[in-house]
């Protein structure tokens, strides 16, 4: 059930690049003194711990979701119970968000503290086979510890942005003899953009992994491919508003919940639906 080795290596390489940007900015700001890097790394760890520990509460609150009983959502319970048993993992808590925008997400710091949420829109849009594909994808985000991965990436990117703002305030940070203030300013300007792009690349890689592993868990890649086709049209027709709370949790959702055109696609938290569907169809062909 493990994801492809290539994607794991890619994620590790992206994290290495993210930390390289952080260390470079810390060196610039601290004039070569490592204590400033340690201070901001410590702040990053605190931010990571808070967002990771409270990830389920933050996402559930942002989507105004409520817990549902098995009487209310028998299909959700049946599918999730079956898949959790198949994966030998505990049953997560189930929620429904009262929004017509079709989407779903899973969150929680570990399988024992996980929550899976579907919007009313996705429950109306998909048939049971497609819903099973979506729920398999979401459960694999929990089992692959993607909540931790995304929390660390977001926290490190946040520290880089803060460091860059301080570096800009001090005119590039490095005032030692022989230092290049223009190069320092350029690094301070470009570092937040680089951090954001790396963070988004990590998010996209984890989506590919959840697609692959979820399809393996359900033994039905084409069901998820069919669901993604419907979700591409559904999210385009009914996008969520881009308020701060929703933007912060959008990377957790199975489909980009916002209408993205042109340059906005460069900053999307999800890979293109067409590529995801193509990969799932190729996986089905391999498994046939």
Model confidence band, residue 1 (pLDDT cutoffs 50, 70, 90): very low
**Residue 58 CB partners (closer than 8 Å, separation 6+):** 51, 107, 248, 249
Kindly state the average pLDDT of the residues 270-283: 94
Measured in degrees and rounded to the nearest 5, phi and psi for residue 155 equal -65, -45
Give residue 49's pLDDT. 73
Question: pLDDT tens digit string along 78-100?
Answer: 999 999 999 999 999 999 999 99
Strands 104-107 and 93-97: unpaired
Residue 66's DSSP bridge partners are 96
**Residue 277 CB partners (closer than 8 Å, separation 6+):** 225, 228, 229
Question: pLDDT tens digit string along 184-205?
Answer: 666 667 777 777 777 777 788 8
Three-class SS state of 19 = helix
- 270 vs 263: CA distance, rounded Å: 14
Q: If you average pLDDT over each of 87-96, 155-164, 256-265, which comes out highest?
A: 87-96
pTM: 0.80
- 165 vs 155: CA distance, rounded Å: 16
Strands 93-97 and 66-67: antiparallel
Report H helices in 73-180: 74-87, 120-125, 128-143, 146-169
Look up 261 and say whether it is catalytic.
Answer: no
Q: Exactly one of 70, 130, 138, 207 is catalytic; which is it?
A: 138
pLDDT above 60 for 263: no
CB distance 202 to 148 below 8 Å: no
Q: Which of 2, 21, 1 shows the shortest CA–CA distance to 201?
A: 21
């Amino acid at each position: 059930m493990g994801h492809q080795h290539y994607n794991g290596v890619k994620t590790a390489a992206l994290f290495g690049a993210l930390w390289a940007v952080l260390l470079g900015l810390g060196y610039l700001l601290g004039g070569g003194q490592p204590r400033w890097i340690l201070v901001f790394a410590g702040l990053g760890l605190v931010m990571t711990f808070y967002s990771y520990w409270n990830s389920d509460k933050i996402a559930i609150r942002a989507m105004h979701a409520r817990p549902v009983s098995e009487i209310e959502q028998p299909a959700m319970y049946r599918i999730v119970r079956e898949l959790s048993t198949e994966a030998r993992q505990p049953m997560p808590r189930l929620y429904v968000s009262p929004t017509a925008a079709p989407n779903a997400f899973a969150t929680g710091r570990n399988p024992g503290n996980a929550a899976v949420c579907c919007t009313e829109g996705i429950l109306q849009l998909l048939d049971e086979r497609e819903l099973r594909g979506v729920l398999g994808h979401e459960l694999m985000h929990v089992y692959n510890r993607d909540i931790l991965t995304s929390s660390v990436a977001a926290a490190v990117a946040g520290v880089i942005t803060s460091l860059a703002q301080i570096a800009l305030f001090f005119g590039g940070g490095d005032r030692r003899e022989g230092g290049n203030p223009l190069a320092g300013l350029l690094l301070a300007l470009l570092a937040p953009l680089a951090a954001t792009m790396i963070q988004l690349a990590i998010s996209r890689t984890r989506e590919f992994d959840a697609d692959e592993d979820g399809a393996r868990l359900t033994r039905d890649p084409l069901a998820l491919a069919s669901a993604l086709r419907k979700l591409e049209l559904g999210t385009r027709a009914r996008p969520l508003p881009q308020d701060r709370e929703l933007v912060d949790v959008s990377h957790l959702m199975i489909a980009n919940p916002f209408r993205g055109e042109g340059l906005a696609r460069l900053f999307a938290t999800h890979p293109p639906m067409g590529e995801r569907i193509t990969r799932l169809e190729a996986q089905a062909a391999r498994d046939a």
